[in-house]
Structure formats: structure tokens, C-alpha cells
Structure 1
Amino acid sequence: MRQPFVAGNWKMNGSRETATELLEDVVQGLVSSHCEAAVCPPYVYLADGLRIAKGSELVLGAQNVSEEESGAFTGEVSASMLQDFDCRYVIVGHSERRGLFGESDETVARKFMAAARQGLRPILCVGETLEEREQDVTEQVIRRQLDAVLNAAGVHAFVEAVVAYEPVWAIGTGQTASPEQAQAVHAMIRARVAEADDTIADRLRIIYGGSVKAGNAAELFARPDIDGGLIGGASLDADSFLSICESANSASTQ
């Protein structure tokens, strides 16, 4: 059985004071369970995350990583630097990186490989815009994004990775793909990876990221190919995030 996974993407929110309080509340609220929980705070709060999460059930991730190992790349952060803060995960290819910062499929693939080389577990984000969904090209878009990494890194690089399906039209909008819509895309992603290696596909955790909240998490996580969530706004509230983690844990025992 795949271990459910819930990761909080804090994006560019909070202050050191609020980040510390949130980290402490999440650590205190997490109990030993089947669900793996991670938070991805801004880079500048990773040191506080390392201190507060040490010895707890919570693991750390980062929101982005450079494709380069070192050098004259002002403002960038390498995978080895993230390892210094005990990061286990790193998000690559988030729709905001693709859309706002112009990251191509090829750039995302290079970041995926840079993270994997240093022992980090990439959370690879894929997803379609509203226009692409209305044009009925969701599958083509996601296959293109996924194939860029499969072709560059190989299917075995997905043994430790996570794939996050995040329909761009449902991020921060309050809209959410129906459980049936989300399940269909998750199943398609798993089937695509299975074309290369069905054993890896069976073990691959595919999580949903699109306005997941405490109120809809249980219904989403009950679907057979949805293994958890990449949580945006709801991860900034400890009670909401912990409730989502509990929904993932409950779904895994049913």
C-alpha cells in the first residue's frame, strides 16, 4: 500500500513570528500515523523549520531548487544547500514557476534531476490551465509535462519522487476539480508511468493540489489513485492542515 502524503506549500506568506508559531502548532498536533506530512516554507524559514521539526513526525521541503550545483547564479539555492537543512522534499514545476517565471518543461526536468542527484525527493507538479481543459487537451498537456521528465531522467528516478496533479484553474481560486475529474487524471498519470515500468507506477504517490481544504479532503483522498495532497492556503492554518492530514490517514485505513 502507498503511504499517503500531505505537503503544505506556504508560498511567499508569513513572517518569522507567524512561521514559527505555525510550525510549532503543526508539530504539536501531528501524531504518529500512516500519513507522511511535510511543510515547504520560504527558504529563509528553513532554519527555524529544522530546529522546530527535529525529532518530530514533520519533515521539511523546499518550494524550488536551482538546476545548477553551484556558481555565479545570484539569488539561486542549490539542492546541496537544501540538504544542509535536512530537506527531504522539493517542489519542482509548480504552475506559478511555469506561468509567472517562464520555466519550461526542460527546465523543470533539469531541476528534477538536480534534486534527485543530491538525494532530495522531487514533488513534480503537472497540470492544465482552464483554457486547456476547455479545449479538451488535458491529457496531452500532462503527458507532455510528464514525458519531459521521464525522457530526461528515466522512470527509475520516480522511485523516490512524488507527482502532484494541480489543475491551474483550481489553484487559489476556490474551485476544485471534482473527485471524479481528479481521479481520472491521477489514473492517467499512473498509466503513463506504467508504460515504462508498472511496478514503479504502482508504488508512485500521486497527490492532488487544487484548493484542497479540510471540507473536501476526505472525499478526494478516498479515490484509489489520489494518495494525498499538495496544500496551499489551507496549510497556513494549523488546524486545517492537521485535519487534512487526518483525512489522508483515515482514507489509507479504509
Structure 2
Amino acid sequence: MMHKYLIGNWKMNKTLQEAMDCIQYLLPQLEAIKDAIHSINLNLVIAPSFVHLWPIKELIQHHTLIQLAAQNCHHEIQGAFTGEVSAAMLASVDVKYVIIGHSERRIYQKETNDLLASKVKKVLAAGMSPILCCGENIEQRNTGEHKTAIYHQLKGGLVDLTLQEVQKLLVAYEPVWAIGTGQVASLEVITEMHDFIREILLEQYGMIGEKIPILYGGSCNAKNIAAILNGSNVNGGLIGGASLQVNHFMEMINNIT
């Protein structure tokens, strides 16, 4: 049975104390339902701010139910890049996953497919798993160019990967028009796009493409998460705002276990 993923992307939220309180509240509740979590092969991941990675790593290091992700990394190995964080730095604090190409970074930091392809390679070289995000904006959706946009994002962001590297890859589909808006893509749209992404991965990597997890991100919440994860080729959720409230995040976990 393929693993399922629930990844909480905290974005630029929470002070250190708030982050610590959240994890300390979450851990005993996860331990109480660990058998249910294991029974569905659910991987739980938190992506906090860079400055919170080490303190949270210290909290969770003796727990197997939750892992760390970073929200980004730099596309170079090291160097004079003030304010940036390398893949090797992240790996050194036990980060397991790195989110690459989130729509907010594509929009605000103008990240290109070529740049993201370099980041994917750096993450893999450091022994972590990249979560490459893709998604269309409302204009592309309305003009029927949504599949073309996704195709180019995946083809451009996944370049020169070995079959061994591909096995560490995750993809997240996040329609830009549904992120933080409360507007959730219909189950029909989610199924259509996840099936399309699976076709691209199969085309590019053969049967290995069948095993690459595809996550959905876009205004997921406790009420809709179970239905979304039951969809064709939906292997998990990349959760934004709904992961910030620990009770709500825990409710999401309970609703899928």
C-alpha cells in the first residue's frame, strides 16, 4: 500500500514559543492513535520556519510519527548568498523533505522552472526528498491552458533525474486560485488533474512514475480532507492555513485514520 502524506506548511507564521507549544500539544495525541496512523501508512510532516527547525527537531527526535520538512532551499551548494539556506544545512538538522516551487515563491520570488530544477537536484544530492509543487492560476484555468501549464512546470522542474532519484520525489498539485482563498477545487477537478499528473510521470519515468506520491494542496480542511484523499491518484495533502491550529490539524488526522 502506497504511503499517504499529510504535510503542514506553516509558512511565515508562529513565534518559537508558539511553534514549540503546538508540537508539544500534538505529540501525545499522535502517540494515542499511532496504531491507526501506521495502519494506513500515513506520514505526518511539519514544515516550520527555518529558525524553528532545530528546536522542533529536538522535540521530535525520539518520536517516529512526525518528520520535518523545510519550506525552501537555495539552488547553490554554498557561497556568498546572504540570508539563504543550503540543502546541506537542512539535512544537517534532520530535515527529510523540502518544498520546492510553492506557488507563492513562483509568484513573489519569480522562481523559474530552471531554478527549481537545480533546487530539486540539490535536495536529492543532500539525501532528502523534494516536494515539487505545480499548479495553474485562474487565468490559465479559465482559458483552458491549465494542463499545458502543469506539463511545462513538471517537465521543466524535473530534469536529468536518475531512476534512483525519482524514487525519492513527491509532487504537489496546488491550483493557485484555491490557495488560502477558501475556494476548493471540486473532486472532479482534483481527480482530473491528479490523473493527468500521473500520466506525465508515467510518460517520463515508466512504472516508477506509478509510485511517485501526488499530494493535493488548496484550502484543505477537516471537513473535506477524507473525500479528497479518497480520490484517484491523491496520495496526501499539502496543508497550509488549516495546519496552523493544532486542534484542526489533529481533527484532519483523525478524519483519515
Aligned to 2:192: 184
Match for 2:247 among 234, 239, 243? 239
Match of 2:208 in 1: 200
- Ranges in structure 1 where 5+ consecutive residues have no aligned partner: 250-254
**How far 1:165 moved relative to its partner?**
0.2
2:16 alignment counterpart: 16
1:149-190 CA distances to partner (integer Å, 9 max, x unpaired)? 333435553211110000000000000101110111011111
Counting only pairs closer than 5 Å after superposition, residues 107-118 of structure 1 correspond to structure 2 as 107-118=115-126
TM-score (normalizing by structure 1): 0.95
Which structure 2 residues correspond to residues 102-251 of structure 1 after superposition, within 5 A? 102-154=110-162, 156-249=164-257
Structure number with the bigger relative contact order (C-alpha 8 A, sep ≥ 6) is 1
CA contact (8 A) 1:6 1:248 kept: no
* Percent identity over paired residues: 37
Q: Could you tell me how far apart the structure 2 residues matched to 1:137 and 1:228 are?
A: 25
What is the rounded CA distance, in whole Å, between the counterparts of 1:153 and 1:96 in structure 2? Answer: 25
Report Cα offsets for 1:82-136 as digits up to 9, x if no partner. 0111000000000000000100011111111110111110010000001110011
CA contact (8 A) 1:6 1:36 kept: yes
Paired position in structure 1 for 2:72: 64
Relative to structure 1, the CA distance from residue 69 to residue 151 in structure 2 (aligned partners, 3 Å threshold; closer, same or farther) is closer
- For the aligned residue pairs, the C-alpha RMSD in angstroms reads 1.2
The DSSP-based 3-state class of the residue aligned with 2:172 is: strand
The answer as to 2:36 corresponding to 1:36 is no
Is the 8 Å Cα contact of residues 5 and 248 (structure 1) preserved in structure 2?
A: no
**Partner Cα distance (2:248, 2:97) in 1:** 21
SS in 2 for 1:39: strand
CA distance in 1, matches of 2:172, 2:219: 13
Tell me which residue corresponds to 1:94: 102
Contact 2:172 2:215 in 1 (8 A): yes
Cα distance in structure 1, aligned partners of 2:155 and 2:3: 24
**Distance in 1 separating the partners of 2:206 and 2:246:** 37
Amino acid at match of 2:220: V
The 1-side partners of 2:113 and 2:147 are apart by: 15
Q: Give the total of aligned pairs.
A: 249
